[in-house]
Copies of this chain bind each other. A is one copy, B any other.
Amino acid sequence: MSLPLRQVGENGIISRFRALAAPGLTADVVVGPGDDAAALHTGGDRVLLLTCDMVVEGVHFRRAWATPDQIGWRAMAANLSDIAAMGGEPAAAVASIAAPGDLPAEEVEQIAQGLISAASQYRAALVGGDLVGSPGPLVVDVALTGWVDEHLMLRRRGARPGDALLVTGALGASATGLALRQHMLADDGSPEFARALQAHHKPRPRLAEARAIAESRLATAMMDLSDGLAQDLPRLCGESGVGARVWCQRVPADPAALALAPKLGRDPLELALSGGEDYELLFTCPTAAAPEIAAAVLARTGTAVAVIGDVTDGTGVTFLDASGNAMAPNTGFDHFAAAAGGRP
């Protein structure tokens, strides 16, 4: 009996993919499926990184809410963030677009412009693509290469019990922007309103921050936050074979989430823990090294880094409230398990 995708869920399917792909992986494959990007030996000290990320109209974006340029930017940014998560530098991208035949040609050009703008902002190039018809939604898929010195590469595996758990920046801004769109709230002219929409529609991948973390050589594991801390942290822990405790009071909620959550009837902490697409970095390092890494990232990029918890033995991830009691955050977005309440 075969279950439908929405019952098996994303994590279930991905672990089955990995088992299927494993026998075909050659000695050149340093990192196969299951990390933010794959990594391949190509003969030198640097390894080639390769990742892809697909966005689908009605699932990841709506044309009524996002401009074509923003759709392109976001699709590229998600991939740039995957390269960042490995400690790498992006190089070349290809993009496939499935577009309804009645889509104005100008909008397809604007999507391409968004892809190209995001790429060039981070010194990557769009070097090719495919354009096909779609009888349904607009679909944009980007694949991106990158490079990283193998000894600097960071993976989801590597976190050790006792390590500190850190994030760059602040969380929940993108989820706040999405909620503003969902609730059709009128722009109140506040900087937080603009900040939330900007975070949602034109996220900034943390490439410079990731380089600073990788080059410190102090971090033990890293990934980017694309589906939300509550869903992504268990993935990092799973790869590392560890558990984690998150002290929710230390999780930095974005100013936009703090300011706008009341208007949205939401809890800023819930936006910060469960909101996807922040593209901040989640990483671990020995506790004693946390101040040094934080200082290095701040000095090089101006971005704050916060210790939000620690790595434990075992396999569970626990979110602790101010009293030290375990709480259950809403989990992040599952593309199949999620019901109508999901993105967007």
Contacts and interface: CB of A to CB of B under 8 A. Distances in A.
A102 to B, nearest CB: 5
A333 to B, nearest CB: 10
B102 A5 contact: yes
Interface string A66-110: 000000000000000000000000011011111111111111110
A51 B4 contact: no
A6 B109 CA distance: 14
A341 to B, nearest CB: 13
A52 interface: yes
A36 B126 CA distance: 15
B132 A48 contact: no
Contacts of A95: 52
Contacts of A336: 101, 133
Nearest to A32: B127
Number of copies of this protein chain within its complex: 2
Given A54-B141, A127-B50, A131-B17, A101 B4 contact: yes
Interface residues of A, number: 87
B13 A132 contact: no
A235 interface: no
A105 B32 contact: no
Interface stretch (A113-121, A192-200, A285-293, A300-308): A113-121
A262 interface: no
A103 B12 CA distance: 14
Interface string A327-338: 000000001101
B21 A126 contact: yes
Interface in A120-178: 120, 123, 125-137, 139, 141, 143, 145
A207 to B, nearest CB: 16
21 contacts: A4-B101, A4-B102, A6-B101, A8-B105, A13-B109, A16-B105, A20-B109, A24-B116, A24-B119, A28-B92, A38-B128, A44-B44, A50-B94, A54-B132, A56-B98, A56-B134, A58-B136, A59-B133, A60-B132, A96-B143, A134-B137
Given A2-B106, A56-B132, A139-B141, 16 more contacts: A2-B107, A6-B101, A10-B131, A13-B109, A24-B119, A25-B125, A28-B92, A32-B125, A32-B128, A42-B42, A52-B94, A52-B96, A53-B96, A54-B96, A54-B139, A145-B145
